[in-house]
Amino acid sequence: MSKFVALFFSLTLGLISATAEARTITDATGRKVEVPDTITRVLAAGPPASVLTYVLAPDKLAGWVREPTDEQKAYLMPSVRDLPTYGQLTGKGGSANVEAVLAAKPDIILDVGTVNDTYRSLADKVQAQTGIPYVLIDGSFAKSGQTLREVGALLGVAERAETLAAYADGRIKDLNDTLAKIPADQRPRVYYGRGPEGLETGLSGSINVEILEAAGATNVAAAAGKGGLTNVSLEQVLSWKPDVVIAASGKFASAVKKDPLWADLKAVKDGRVFVAPGLPYGWFDSPPAINRLIGVAWLQKLFYPTSFKADLRTETRDFYKLFYQVDLSDEQLATLLKGALPSSK
């Protein structure tokens, strides 16, 4: 056999092998994407995908979208704490570039969250620029179990994905069973405040307040219309008269309780200002991802305490062990729940 013929057969066999090791999937946008049969490195396009990859297959995470803070690292597995940070492809905080993406040498790029033409266009653009398969998955809260199963199958960790998905299905079913017994007039009107002054919030339909609506509460900011995050005035918040204020930051929660401009708000008078736990990821949003599953347990306890049969502390320990694969210390648990519940709870 000549060297040319041998080389030809070698290249042909290589192409056949490469083809055999690839598969075509359909992502949430309907795009046909060819991905490797075995995926060992995942680059997350944004924070929700980063969280999802971590909880399903931490060994496949190529790096972080945002470098975890020291506080966050304490709630993460030691093996992932010091992974490189390459930036974010999606959203207003997009900071990654083509060079950073290529340098990470991922098998795929994974995006999880809102599915629309904007994100589809981004997926097509990045895939064309890099040659790396880009997969977009629906990250809506109601589809948490489905999301876990789809990405688990994609990454080759279906067994772990099924365990986490069963938890998600059970948690959402328990919440919905509870809500079926709660009359509308016994469900709270809630304002969710982001930022140090608490005057950024989510409008009706915003993914950032998705679990508030899932928990059966009324998002008072829906009065300002439909959309995503927006800035509002203090006068607007006062006019909405929320029963409960949920603060994304402890700084805002502390300020509200002391600021005379907020003093006449019913939620403040009644001592119903609470801080959303946020380590390593937010229980309410930040990011609006799979981390919110423990958040709905908290909201269920907060809004409908007599109907929440589980112990939230035990539930929290179990969730962190199952999803984040860390054992919480008593001190860490206390830090998480500080300001999140009425003082008597």
Q: Is residue 174 part of a domain?
A: no
Q: Which residues pair with 43 in a beta bridge?
A: 109
The sign one gets for the Cα dihedral 337, 315, 110, 70 is positive
Same structural domain, 247 and 331: yes
**Contact 61/83 with Cβ under 8 angstroms?**
yes
Task: Inform me whether the pLDDT recorded for 254 exceeds 50.
Answer: yes
Cα 54 to chain centroid distance, Å, stands at 11
- Mean pLDDT within 209-228: 94
DSSP helix/strand/coil, 228: coil
pLDDT tens readout for residues 108-165: 999 998 889 989 999 999 999 999 999 999 999 999 999 999 999 999 999 999 999 9
Residues 208 and 274 both lie in one domain:
yes
pLDDT for position 89? 85
Residues 125 and 256 placed together within one structural domain of the fold: no
Reported as a pLDDT band with limits 50, 70 and 90, residue 95 is low
pLDDT of residue 96: 63
- Full residue range of the structural domain in which residue 60 is found: 18-169
Distance in angstroms (rounded) separating the CA atoms of residues 302 and 227: 26
Q: Would residue 146 count as lying in a domain?
A: yes
Domain tally, the chain: 2
Q: Is residue 177 part of a domain?
A: no
**Residue after which a domain boundary falls, among 169, 203, 235:** 169
Quick one: pLDDT at residue 290?
Answer: 95
Q: What is the dihedral of CA 119, 122, 124, 130, to 10 degrees?
A: -140
What's 264's domain CATH number? 3.40.50.1980
Which is it for strands 42-44 and 200-202: parallel, antiparallel or unpaired? unpaired
Using the 3D structure, point to which of 169, 192, 209 is the last residue of a domain.
169
- Two structure tokens written together for 143: 């589809």
- Are 50 and 61 in contact, with CB atoms under 8 Å apart? yes
216 and 333 housed in the same domain = yes
* Whether 313 contacts 226, CB under 8 Å: no
Four-residue CA torsion sign, 12, 15, 17, 20 = negative
Indicate whether 342 belongs to any domain.
no
267 and 197 co-located in one domain: yes
How does pLDDT run across 71-92, given as a tens digit for each residue? 999 999 999 999 999 888 876 6
pLDDT band at 102, cuts 50/70/90? confident
Residues of the chain above pLDDT 70, percent? 92
Looking at the fold, whether 154 and 191 belong to one and the same domain comes out as no
Task: Flag whether 1 is in a domain.
Answer: no
262 within a domain of the structure (yes/no): yes
What is the pTM for the complete model shown?
0.89
- pLDDT value at 286 more than 70: yes
Amino acid in the structure at residue 109: I
pLDDT at residue 93 in the model: 55
